[in-house]
Amino acid sequence: MARSLKVAVIGAGVAGLAAARELQRESLQVVVFEKSHQLGGTWAYDARVESDLLGIDPNRDVVHSSAYKSLKTNVPRVLMSFTDFKFGEKVYGDPRMYPGHEEVLKFFTDFASYFELTELIRFNTLVTRVEVVDSDITEFVVESNTNGVISVEVFDAVVVCNGHNTQPRLATDIPGIKTWSRKQMHSHNYRVPEPFRDQIVVVIGSGPSAVDISRDIATVAKEVHMSSRSPLVKVAKSDKFNNMWQHSKVM
């Protein structure tokens, strides 16, 4: 009888859960490493922010999730489904077509429980090293740290599912921004609008999160100015907020 392959999955967010489910379906031995105390990845809201609000300091204590308190989906729930576990059929307290992050996290938690994935997850476990030990048969050493206890194990394969939204990408080429002394932060560390009450705020970017955050801040700020690098963006005042403007890059 062929030996069942042992596979390490790094991360218990959406990608990690989906990978674990498919590997489990093929009767493989699956271990999921999750550095936090819960599954969900970026959908697991964390009220904490990092000590370096721009995310430049490599020695900062990293907060994984970029979710803000008012975050909701920008695609309908019926499209946020697994092939064999439908989000559109479930409501956990937020029946909106575009539900908030709490509803999404409950859906992923339910998915993991239904397919018995939760017991595959090692919570509070940080993977510190992955190394190929035998290139001929392709084995991997995975070193992990669980609350100070170091473990070293050998796996036949490793699936990396740690996401890409934790490290901020900064607009560093703007003249004067490096020496400007007022408050600067990346949206990764935005949680609630209250710190911006009665202030004049510039939001650099015009993607979904920039629009969301601008509207959130506009509920308390004196003025909010959204700046887009696209010359195609229409310069206009917001239809919904009298204190919010859209600006485009001057070419």
CA 138 vs CA 7, 62, 106, 157: distances in Å: 12, 32, 37, 8
CB contact set of 70 (below 8 Å; sequence gap of 6+): 100, 192, 212, 216
CB contact set of 222 (below 8 Å; sequence gap of 6+): 198, 199, 200, 243
Distance of CA 107 to the CA centre of its chain: 16
Q: What is the pLDDT of residues 33-45, one digit of tens each?
A: 999 999 999 999 9
Q: What is the pLDDT of residues 89-100, one digit of tens each?
A: 999 999 999 999
Q: Which helix (DSSP H) or strand (DSSP E) does residue 10 occupy?
A: strand 6-10
First to last CA, the chain: 67
Rounded distance between C-alpha atoms, residue 22 and residue 85, angstroms? 13
- Residue range 201-229: average pLDDT? 94
pTM of the predicted structure, to 2 decimals? 0.90
Q: State both tokens at 42.
A: 């970026």
- Kindly list the structural domains of the chain, giving each domain's residue range(s) and its CATH number in brackets, ordered by start: 6-160 (3.50.50.60), 193-248 (3.50.50.60)
